[in-house]
Structure 1
Amino acid sequence: MADGQEDLSSLPLPDRFAHKNWKVRKEGYEDAKVQFEQTSDDSSPVFVPFIQDPGLWKGAVADSNVAAQIEGLAAYCAFLSFGGPHACTRSRGQTLGPIIEKGLSCARPAGKASAQEALLLCVELDKADPVVEELLPALSHKVPKVAAAALAALNILYHNFGCKIVDPKPTLKALPKVFGHADKNVRAEAQGLTVELYRWLREAIKPVFWNDLKPVQQQDLEKLFEQVKQNPTPKQERFTRAQQDAMAAASGAPAGGDEIEQDDEEYAEEDAPEAEVLDLAEPVDVLPKVPKDLQDQLASSKWKDRKEALDALYNVVNVPRIKDGPYDEIVRSLAKCMKDANVAVVTIAANCVDVLARGLRKGFAKYRSVIMIPMLERLKEKKQIVADALGQALDSVFGSTTLTDCLEDILEYLKHKNPQVKQGTVRFLIGCLRTTRDVPSKPEQKSIAGAGTKLLTESTEVIRSGGAEILGTLMKILGERAMNPYLEGLDDIRKTKVKEYFETAEVKAKDRPKPIVAPKVTAPSKKIAAAGKKPATGLKKPAPAAAAAPPAKESPVKPAARSIPSKIGGVPKPGGLSGSGLKAPQRKLAAPGSIASPQRRVVSPPLEEAAPPPPKFGLGRGLAGRPITKPSAPAEAAAAPPAPAMSAMSAADKAELEELRLEKEKFTRVTEDMRSERSKLNSQINELQNQNAQLIEDHTRDVLSIKAKETQLVRARSDAEAAEENVQKQQREIERLKRELARALRATAMSPPNATAEAMGMADATIYQEPASNGHAVPRSGLHSASRFNSERPRSYASATPSEEKENNGGMDSPGLGSRDGSLGRRKLSPSYGYSAVGSPTRSSTRGSGNPTDEEQQPRSAEPPENWKRAAEVTSQLKARIEQMKARQGLQRPPAQR
């Protein structure tokens, strides 16, 4: 038995992995794990059988025996850890499925932990996409335990690597189906995974799957979200192998410029943008959904129509991600809405710009010049709701562009005469400095600092504080040392204020000093050291001998990157500048041959001459690169041969290199100038186009206004002419009526009373006459009664003076006696008809009239007042009959029909 066991342990590992006895397999897994851990690197022969036949791991990670499976999973983790990325890529196709189906749902915690670690190692060594692609189908597995284990594994992946390494989009799309699972454990794991994704993405996860959940599930998730809202944004806890190599290279770099490069890498890692909703959602084409009559509605004179049109547009474009397209007309319409007199219209237009800019992101940059200037101009609005909407929209517009694109307009509006516009622009610039990821260039720094310094002298406290905050935020980006030249003229109080804002400012862009280039002549120094020369003792702790040694004898610990000098004097590289004629002298220089060889005299000087000039900050080639107490020139002269021995080829190369450098710098400057000039011309073109469009719009509006005024003038003239014609017609009608009235009166005056009554056809002719006792008709008069007619002689109308008439009428004209124009009481008719003062015709009154002087001398007060009443009644009745007579003759309608 012992011999059999000894024979089994001596079997190769592949045979033991495939053995039918679980104990043999278990021992084989344990031995493999130990051997993997004892290897020096991933090229060890122990890995070769498992890389060539990765199917061996399929049975190991899914062993039928639980104890053997645990050891198999542990061995596979060791294989991945020490075998490197190649081991992962060759074996994961065979192992991911069994691990997910049997390893993650292992009953023992050790096996479950090993399975999860294996998945983490697969992500760490290569990438997460293959692992996620295998895990997502397991969410719909018929065994609930497997689905719950897959959700837990996804939770662990996101917790360790974050959403920047593991893509959350496929998982978010699969969540609604998992929330409808019948098993409560699966739903609980789904909630835990959703909370973990919310830790990384916050509200960005909702547009992807939130509407597919039930209201009860949404409420439960909201309660869980409240618990993690106050927590800071999580950081990546586990890094991929590529990230680990980058960090190791950065941390192991030598002193000098490489330390600065390490800072740059760390800074880039810290400032990597988080996953946003735009990265999760699919782009939506909103142009077909825009109302067709949008422009007509926005041109309406009613503000409610304009507001409803903008509301409809907002509902269409309010999506997480918008597909790029021609939105020029919509943006121009929104720019016009910024000038609207109604604040509700302006607010909704600003909201539309906000969602449109956030949806298009970089695609909205081409519309910046159209919309930004009207929005900055509208900042004069004092209502806070409008100012907030405009500020949010401006921030979204800036998110699609850069600080360089917006800075010119911002600086222009910082000089605006309206304090509200200036204050809003200050807030906008501060937000731009906080959110930009690009460090402003030197001219931009000077412009921003100058504008902030001018704002410190404003009369308004809010604007002065804004200027100090601008300078403090800029100092946070550039650093205190770089900001000192811009703060020289400020007093201590203002400097203190700027420092306060500097300490509290939070920015995403930080200026880093340029890396200091390390010396590039390390390869020749190694050759010389190998030839028996005295090498330098080190970089970090320079010895006095090393300090006094010439530069040609330095030997740094780590060779620097290849450059032109290293190619000339170091190990020959294919395709370098050094020709075939220079390679032989280099080989002879490396050998400890004769010191006075001509090749050495030819080649050695170019090594020193071709060395790059010392850097700007004076660090040179390191602490041990040059002597401290002696100048570098004597050392170089001592180490190098005489100058006349320099080869013509090396001098020509040097001159050519210098010339190429100068041409490159000149070309770079010309390119930058042309680029800046081009951007400036583009901005001017855009501005002129905007001005041209505005002028065309103003001209069109003025032309329409003039046409409207002309139309109104023509209508007014036609109305005036019609009114004049109507007046003339009415005047002619009045004249005709006057003539007809005069004619009727003359006809009435010429006819006797009985004839008049008969002509009128009146049955009540007795109104004019009363039968007397002797059978004669007695005229009924307002001045004479029947009893008085025989006893007293009536006064003639012709004998009445105006004073007497006025006295009889009580100082006023009686309507019954007529007016001065043509009434009966004022007319002097023929005395043969004997009209009295009230116009009652009678022949007897004229025949029996006496001397008019006798009647004038008779007092008028003797007449009873009843006579005047009767006269008034008779006069009114006479007028009525005249009107009826006119009606019969067709002159006018009777009074009853008017």
Structure 2
Amino acid sequence: MDSSADDSASFQTLPLEERLSHKLWKARQHAYNELETVFSRLSIGRFAESGVEKYWKRPEVFTGYVLDSNVVAQESAVKALHGLLDFMVTVPQIRELCQPSLLVENWVPALVEKGMTSSKAVTKETSMACVLLVVSLDDNIVNAIDCLVPIWDKKLPKLLTAALTVHVKLVEQFGFVNVSQQDKMRILQGLVSVLPKMCSHADKTVRNESMQLILQLCTWFDKPVLQELLLGKLKPIQQKDLDKLFESFQGSIPPSSTPSQFVWAVPAQNDAGANDLVLDSDEDHAMGLSGDGNGNGGAADDQPIDPYDMFPVQSILDKLPNNFYQNLASSLWKDRVAVLEEFHDQTLSKVKKLSASNENYSELINKFCSTITSDANLQAVQISTNSLDVLISALRSEYNQYALETLNALLTRSKEKKPTVADSIFNLLLNLSKYYKLELCLESVLTHMKNKVPQVKIVCSKFLFELLSSWAPTEPPYKTLVFSNLTAILSSLQPIVNDNQQAIRNEGFKCVAILIKIFDERELSTYLDKLDNLKRKKILELVDKVEIKAVPQQNSKPVAPQSQLKPAASVVRSQPKNGQSNLSSTIPSKRLATSPLKPTRSSTLNGNPKSSRLTSRSLTTPQLQNVEPPSHFQSSKINSLQTNTLSTSQVNISNRMSHLNEEVNKLRQERQDWLKERNEILSNLNHSKLQISKLNKQLNESETYVSNLQRQLQESREEVHNKDLKIKELEGAVGNADNLISHKPANSPISSSSSMNRGRLTATTLSPLRSTKNLTPQRIRSPSESSDDLPKRVNSLNLNNHMLQEESWKRAAEVTNQLKARIERMRAKSRSGFNNLGVD
């Protein structure tokens, strides 16, 4: 007990600097407490004498104090820092005396990592208060958020919770005030890449703080933006929890006022008589602080964030399915649909941003356009349309190099009547028109409006109406390419307006009505006079109903600006009163009012209103010469020379401007001719491709036909060979028969019993009629018959046998002749079939 008292007595007598770096934590704590007391008693007017500036000029000193290894001493150090910051925010022009960004980079990470993760509740609360105070000295919350980025790679739950809590408080207390658009996108992109992982963290506190941070972000950014970037990545249960947070949220989304505790905002609020630290969001953005410490600089960018700018550039050509182009050219519709569906579902549906500078999409888009134009399967057309829609949304303005081919393909296929396919095609046209503007689409639309298919006319008219309603020219409408092509537009609309189908006429009426609303009725009066009263009445009734989505510039004809009209009035007032007529004095003003290209100072130089850019002589010169006395002849001559010089210069300027206008018109005409030629070349190219595909198809059919003919020829040859073999066999048989006939005996007398027996055997063999089975019972010799008549019966039998042999030889000759005739017919038939096959 005595030793501890001795230690306390020993370090209390040490100087402050030694105690701050003492090895004993009690000595350091004692020094931190003393610093807190000093800061609380500092005089604002005489703080420079105390040497306290060293703590904000060298912020790393207090960083070491906050990182004290002893939790009790650390609590005292954090309290001392809070006392210092509490004093600093009361010092006038403190932002000029210190570097707020340097303070944030040194103190905020230390307070979050060591202070807000402490086991002592007081240390946590004081550390959070210190973070808010030091950030209030800065221009915005950008530096504080940037210095906490390394914490997201840590795994300690309490450290992640501390970082999320700081983010929630920063957004809640300061918002995105005075933050540029680029910094907003960068911060949001970093948070949306981290929050889905934090929302799925194993620690419940981390998950809850992540939800709170998402809620605060939703108060500042549009929900569609966060839906694309963040909310769509959350699990269904997490989205339900977030919906419950929105229901219990008391504030307004977006916030009606911006809570701001920045030091630079306090003087403006005090001057306005405000007692609290609340700054309207519009006023806050209007201040436009740039962070120079003086509140001067450009205003922060208030444009809404486009999620497209925050997506990374992806690649798709390396993810094409195997044999993609081969299957796309297959004659089987199932192969084409399968490969299109695979590429769309597995790759294109996940694409958000592409770049045409990284990959060449010409072949891919050409295949999609060919499928849309010529594929008979509507499912393939539908998938190709959806695929092109993804490519347009991912490439945006970079798609313009492929837009003309796509536009022609869509307008050609607009003849499709199936609602799902027709709607997809029209929606794709509208998506394409966001980046491929009216001036570029006009020629193709007018060309396809001449199509004879009613559905194509309707779609082209609807598309033209949408283009005109969303048209936002960058110059007065009367100077645009659309106005110069107004006659061509009306000529293309003429058949539409006069069509015999009411649906087509109505679309034409709407197009004419919106042209009237854009360019005024007087510009279309000649066209309207050609219509009958009923059609004219319907068109004029639609003029008030149609709406222009984009606000065009003033529709009046170009006039001189107000700055040019004032000198004209001064010219009238400066005219001499000696015999000057009002008519002559008003001529220069009229010329000025209708000549916006004329310099403003040309009418007032030297106070001489008589100069004109058309002539060097003034209309009042003779009268002035008569009134002026002779003594002023020299001065009038000088004035006349000056007038001539000014007039000559004005004429030169006018000639030069007219020459430039001619050059511009010539360039525009050349551009139109080039576009027309380009469209013709592309059209011819597409036609040639179609012809090539047809020829390839015919070639395949011809090859198939030739192969069939060759197979038939081979079969015919085999058949002819078989018939030849059969003919040879038959000829051999005929030859044998001929030999038998040629060896027939002339007369065979029957004189002996042996010959009788041989003849009987031959007859029995050749003629079945002589067989014992065919003999009648009467011809069978019975044993009872007498043997006396045996010679007579033998002679009769020999005679019958001879007759039977004669009949058999005749029948054999007849069969032989029939076989020969049959062989000749078969030969003739074979020769005829072979000749016919050779002709084919």
Choose which of 342, 356, 369 in structure 2 pairs with 1:335: 369
Look up the match of 1:322. Answer: 354
Instruction: Give the secondary-structure state (helix, strand or coil) at the position aligned to 1:166.
Output: helix
Please give the root-mean-square deviation of Cα atoms over the aligned residues, in Å.
Answer: 6.2
Choose which of 285, 295, 303 in structure 1 pairs with 2:315: 285
Look up the match of 1:348. Answer: 383
CA distance in 2, matches of 1:178, 1:706: 63
Contact kept? 2:178, 2:285, Cα under 8 Å: no
CA distance in 2, matches of 1:326, 1:757: 104
Counterpart mapping for 1:509-524 below 5 A: 509-512=551-554, 517-519=561-563
Counterpart mapping for 1:482-561 below 5 A: 491=533, 502-503=544-545, 505=547, 507-512=549-554, 517-519=561-563
Per-residue CA deviations over 1:492-541 (Å, capped at 9, x if unaligned) read 77656665575463513423357962337999x99xxxxxx99xxxxxxx
- CA distance 1:243–1:679, change in 2 (3 Å): farther
Look up the match of 1:173. Answer: 193
The alpha carbon displacement at 1:173 in A equals 2.4
Contact kept? 2:461, 2:507, Cα under 8 Å: yes
Instruction: Give the secondary-structure state (helix, strand or coil) at the position aligned to 1:176.
Output: helix
Per-residue CA deviations over 1:19-56 (Å, capped at 9, x if unaligned) read 9544445x749x99xxxxxxxxxxxxx9xx99999859
Matched, 1:785 2:776: yes
The alpha carbon displacement at 1:307 in A equals 1.9
Per-residue CA deviations over 1:366-403 (Å, capped at 9, x if unaligned) read 11222221221111111122212222332333333221
Instruction: Give the secondary-structure state (helix, strand or coil) at the position aligned to 2:484.
Output: helix
Higher-Rg structure is 1
Matching residue's letter, 2:723 = Q
CA distance in 1, matches of 2:675, 2:462: 27
The alpha carbon displacement at 1:717 in A equals 6.7
Matching residue's letter, 1:386 = V
Look up the match of 1:597. Answer: none
The answer for unaligned runs of 5 or more in structure 2 is: 1-34, 63-76, 117-123, 258-279, 290-300, 575-584, 587-597, 615-622, 746-754, 783-797, 816-840
Per-residue CA deviations over 1:214-256 (Å, capped at 9, x if unaligned) read 453355558889999xx9999997358886689xxxxxxxxxx
Instruction: Give the secondary-structure state (helix, strand or coil) at the position aligned to 1:832.
Output: helix
Contact kept? 2:36, 2:83, Cα under 8 Å: no
CA distance in 2, matches of 1:90, 1:522: 52
Look up the match of 1:652. Answer: 645
Look up the match of 1:253. Answer: none
Give TM-score scaled by structure 1 length. Answer: 0.55
- CA distance 1:605–1:465, change in 2 (3 Å): same
Per-residue CA deviations over 1:316-353 (Å, capped at 9, x if unaligned) read 34411112122222222222212112112222222222
- CA distance 1:201–1:737, change in 2 (3 Å): same
Instruction: Give the secondary-structure state (helix, strand or coil) at the position aligned to 1:519.
Output: helix
Matched, 1:94 2:103: yes
CA distance in 2, matches of 1:146, 1:391: 49
Choose which of 168, 175, 183 in structure 2 pairs with 1:157: 175
Contact kept? 1:281, 1:320, Cα under 8 Å: yes
Give TM-score scaled by structure 2 length. Answer: 0.59
Per-residue CA deviations over 1:178-221 (Å, capped at 9, x if unaligned) read 42453254122133145446625447624x7854x445335555
Look up the match of 1:294. Answer: 324
The alpha carbon displacement at 1:67 in A equals 9.3
Instruction: Give the secondary-structure state (helix, strand or coil) at the position aligned to 1:510.
Output: coil
The alpha carbon displacement at 1:410 in A equals 0.7
Look up the match of 2:146. Answer: 133
Matching residue's letter, 2:338 = E
The alpha carbon displacement at 1:150 in A equals 1.3
Counterpart mapping for 1:722-871 below 5 A: 723=716, 726-727=719-720, 729-730=722-723, 733=726, 736-737=729-730, 740=733, 743=736, 779-781=772-774, 784-787=775-778, 832-833=801-802, 835=804
- CA distance 1:503–1:482, change in 2 (3 Å): farther
Contact kept? 2:327, 2:339, Cα under 8 Å: yes
Matched, 1:359 2:394: yes
Look up the match of 1:148. Answer: 165
Look up the match of 1:39. Answer: none
Look up the match of 2:592. Answer: none
Look up the match of 2:607. Answer: 605
CA distance in 1, matches of 2:78, 2:443: 69
- CA distance 1:741–1:450, change in 2 (3 Å): closer
Matched, 1:413 2:443: no
Q: Which of the two has greater helix per residue?
A: 2
Contact kept? 2:365, 2:402, Cα under 8 Å: yes
- CA distance 1:197–1:445, change in 2 (3 Å): farther
Counterpart mapping for 1:616-627 below 5 A: none
Counterpart mapping for 1:183-582 below 5 A: 183=205, 184-193=207-216, 195-196=218-219, 199-202=222-225, 205-206=228-229, 210-211=232-233, 213-214=234-235, 216-218=237-239, 220=241, 238-239=281-282, 274-291=304-321, 293-314=323-344, 315-318=346-349, 319-324=351-356, 325-337=359-371, 338-438=373-473, 441=480, 442-444=483-485, 447-448=488-489, 451-452=492-493, 455-474=496-515, 491=533, 502-503=544-545, 505=547, 507-512=549-554, 517-519=561-563
CA distance in 2, matches of 1:99, 1:681: 62
- CA distance 1:467–1:196, change in 2 (3 Å): farther
CA distance in 1, matches of 2:541, 2:183: 38
Contact kept? 1:519, 1:612, Cα under 8 Å: no
- CA distance 1:334–1:143, change in 2 (3 Å): closer
CA distance in 2, matches of 1:143, 1:297: 51
Choose which of 671, 680, 683 in structure 1 pairs with 2:673: 680
CA distance in 1, matches of 2:473, 2:405: 23
- CA distance 1:177–1:725, change in 2 (3 Å): closer
CA distance in 1, matches of 2:457, 2:341: 29
Contact kept? 2:389, 2:431, Cα under 8 Å: yes
CA distance in 1, matches of 2:492, 2:255: 38
Matching residue's letter, 1:663 = R
CA distance in 2, matches of 1:336, 1:188: 48
Look up the match of 1:663. Answer: 656
The alpha carbon displacement at 1:166 in A equals 2.4
CA distance in 2, matches of 1:494, 1:122: 62
The answer for unaligned runs of 5 or more in structure 1 is: 1-17, 33-45, 247-268, 527-532, 535-549, 552-562, 570-602, 614-632, 770-776, 792-828, 842-878, 880-898
- CA distance 1:444–1:232, change in 2 (3 Å): farther
Instruction: Give the secondary-structure state (helix, strand or coil) at the position aligned to 2:374.
Output: coil
Q: Which moved more, 1:513-522 or 1:304-313?
A: 513-522
Contact kept? 1:23, 1:68, Cα under 8 Å: yes
Q: Which moved more, 1:322-331 or 1:410-419?
A: 322-331
- The number of residues matched between the two structures is 630
CA distance in 1, matches of 2:97, 2:644: 53
Contact kept? 2:81, 2:130, Cα under 8 Å: no
